[in-house]
Structure 1
Amino acid sequence: MMRVLIVHNQLWAHYKSKLFHEIDRAIQWADPADELLVAQIALYEASRKVMQNDDTITYDYPYQVLFERSLDQVSFRERREALFRIFNEYQPDVLNITGYFDWAQVLLMFYARRKGVKVVISSESSSVDHNRSGWKETIKKVIVGRANAFFCFGKTSAEYLESLGVVKSAIKVRNAAVIDEQVIRQRYDDAKKELGNNANAVSKKFVYVGRLAPEKNLNTLMLAFAQTLKKTGSDWQLLFVGGGPEKDNLEQLAADSGIAGKVIFAGGFPWYQVPGWLAQSDVLVLPSKSEPWGLVVNEAMVCGLPVIVSETCGCADDLVRDGVNGFTFDHMQQADLEKHLTWFVQNPDRIAGMGQESLKLIAPFASGPVAAQMAEAYRELAAKRWEA
């Protein structure tokens, strides 16, 4: 019998819950005697407390919440003691930790290896999402050197691990950036049906979904959109779905640029309501200065939308093919973004076809098949432990 323990930071992370649900199904399908347990350190991160409202959809998988409060309120000592306790109680064959930023999890990994337990590290980091320093990279090399296998969000995170000395064969999953594609697509289709014939009468829209924060590079998007309207005289609109500290500044920038009537601030919504806004939109834009991945791109592509994504988003290499399903651009080059916005304004007949290409490119990131890859990796590692 195989026993797998996954350590995760917070219960209210809906796409992770979807993945855990699918992993549990895959494990049980292969052998009902095998077991999975997800140790959720806390309920939520303080900055994402709103995720507690995501109770319209539930996921069924075995888990235990270690602390019934915010992750930010759990000390290092509490995390370490709780993780060691559940590890010793559960006695797993395979331990899967979330990255290498939490020293409590790193210490647990070293302890597990001394016990002969196989270790998987799930990694979302890439070489472009943060500034790197030599001593930190050295520490990371030591940490990843003790793991047996790795699950990566995509190409950039896999390449980053390889730069730290991880051999390619140890990276068992290279497409772990999954969403609940079934819920997203169903809600998108439902919203499209509600719009009905009125959809054709509505102006076409570029849409941004996420926090209105400085690192999202939204000033550049606003200015590029203003220039696009000036050059083309089109009636396209720019829709912001999300809230954050930059809202007032962006509203003022829209007014100063003379495009206030073309910019819509919808406010913030839980993830399962976002498809309703995507249904009113035509092209997603993610202009961030840096993103480990950018799951909103997955969401848009599952809905059949073309995308414009900055090169420093982790998903760009995996999900965007220039001229096929959208475009990538240098986030520091406003003119680059203007060019792509203008292209869609001048080629509206290409939107549907590019959206179909998005559906093809996002297919390998379906949660079920990805979870099955992970379950198989757990089985291989457990078998090696038993053979040792």
Structure 2
Amino acid sequence: MELDRDHIHQLMNEKVMGVINETDEQLLQNALKEYPELQTEFEQLQQEYAIWSENPTVRTLNSEADFAYVEDELKHRKLRKRSVQTFGVLFIAATITSLAIFTYPLITSHPRKAQVALMSTGNKTLQLRLASGEIVDLSSRKDSIAVNGGTAQLHNQNNSLTYTIKTNTAVPDQVNQLWVPPGMDYHITLSDGTHVFLNSATTLRFPFHFSGNTREITVDGEAWLQVAKDENRPFILHTPKGTVQVLGTSFNVNTYDSGRIKVSLVEGAVSVAIAGKQTVLKPGQAITYQQDKGTALTALNQNELLWIKGKYKLDNTPMKEITKVLPRWYGVQVVIDNPEIAEKRFTGTILKAEPMQEFLDAIQLTTGAESYYKDGVLHIR
């Protein structure tokens, strides 16, 4: 098996904390058998964790023993809040340099219950606006839905949308708009077989049927695409800052930040046209455009694609950048009152979906920062 040491080390932590699932435990056991040096590391980790867990009196966040204390405290908080078994883990540690490491759940496939104040603007439901003006609430309407006077049949199941169109009834230039609200992700299969996986707070514009010499859609937010091959009809993805043209490939596009777009290519080939410049990417490459800096070509960062699998990795990320993500995850506006908190940096992996309060507990334990709501806005101080 190919060894991904970062992933295996993560599984080691989950194992010693008793939260690993059966599939991941089997993967860990296979790796330990195939790579003997990992067995030594794992045994050391078990010994250290046992020692840490016996020292709950540690309160100053300036040593390795903090790993055990913080984890133990968060486990107890979860148990006090829930009467059922917890299936996620929030693993946090802090060092004297204010670098925190945490594993925290992120993406859910279902609308969250009202646990935080939603933003005052924007739609809060999974919504499809048809070219005719008809609006379909996909959050509440499931299974088979007839639209456009019965000429189109939507199939909304398992957080995924497919559709069938009666022959010769779809008008290619009629564009529909799909909105994925904060706290959700959603999958749609287009008429040509292209799969589009949409992250939260993302808009997709697409026709029910492609005709002519091209297949064109528009994405504003973040999406992963696996484009169906069609050598005679290039697939063109429009963004607020440029276009991406492909024949058949898998790639990620991120336009969340104003004035910035990033395209990451996994396989195939894409041609990216931004600010009058054309760049052809090869597999394993990514291109980033920023209005004030121009374009930069870099190696693909696989961590940035983990959102598709319900994970999100933070790499020495300032708190002020993390709080930009919270409106997309939870639909809540965030203000940091304390400038020092804004500069704290975190590294870690966000796993399964959990209430935002788990994240706020982590921040309080590692930094002492408290949170409160005022007029529907979350403040961190």
Taking structure 1 as the reference length, what is the TM-score of the superposition?
0.27
More strand by share: 2
Q: Which has the higher contact order (CA 8 A, sep 6+)?
A: 1
More helix by share: 1
Taking structure 2 as the reference length, what is the TM-score of the superposition?
0.27
